[in-house]
Structure 1
């Protein structure tokens, strides 16, 4: 079973490969998606990592609040996205 993690406060210069490498130290990473602004294409400083359940727990404990690329990142289990009305 896999878990979806939220990682926030990322440096705009960090890459998906750098994030994948950091999280792979704790378990099998299925996917990494760093979110970009739709209009400008610039990174928004957060993303989502999907990884195995036990590795996800270890990654949260080990990486939450640590320095990554010069910033203290926030790592926790991602919450389900709420449906928003389309205007």
Structure 2
């Protein structure tokens, strides 16, 4: 399981998140997704901690905390939904008149 960290500053780096989460236990991995076109950080990330207890402690301490000028949103990451094929058609062929 991992932790979702939202409302991050666009200047945040992996080392920054590692440092703040390390106060609550072992940080196994930090991911900061970037925009495919611009390469810019997307304003959220994911952190994996060593144990569930460490994750719970980090979430309790950091959710709503002000960091780098922003109020963090920190909670258990939800599994990624399978969105299926893209294209916006919802799987139905377009109507033809």
Normalised to the residue count of structure 2, the TM-score between the two structures is 0.84
Superposed, which structure 2 residues align to 1:7-86 within 5 Å? Answer: 7-51=5-49, 52-86=51-85
- Find the aligned partners of 1:49 and 1:61 in 2 and give their Cα distance: 14
Superposition CA RMSD, Å: 0.8
Distance 1:62 1:53 in 2: 14
1:22 counterpart SS class:
helix
Greater relative contact order: 1 or 2 (C-alpha under 8 angstroms, separation 6 or more)?
1
Whole-angstrom CA distance in 1 between matches of 2:68 and 2:32: 15
Give unpaired runs (5+ residues) of structure 1.
none
1:16-53 alpha-carbon deviations (Å, 9 max, x no partner): 10001000100111100011101110011000001121
Q: What is the number of equivalent residue pairs in this alignment?
A: 85
- What is the CA–CA distance in structure 1 between the aligned matches of 2:85 and 2:38, rounded to whole Å? 21
Query: Any runs of at least 4 consecutive aligned residues in structure 1 with deviations exceeding 2 A, and if so which?
Result: none
What residue in structure 1 maps to residue 92 of structure 2?
none
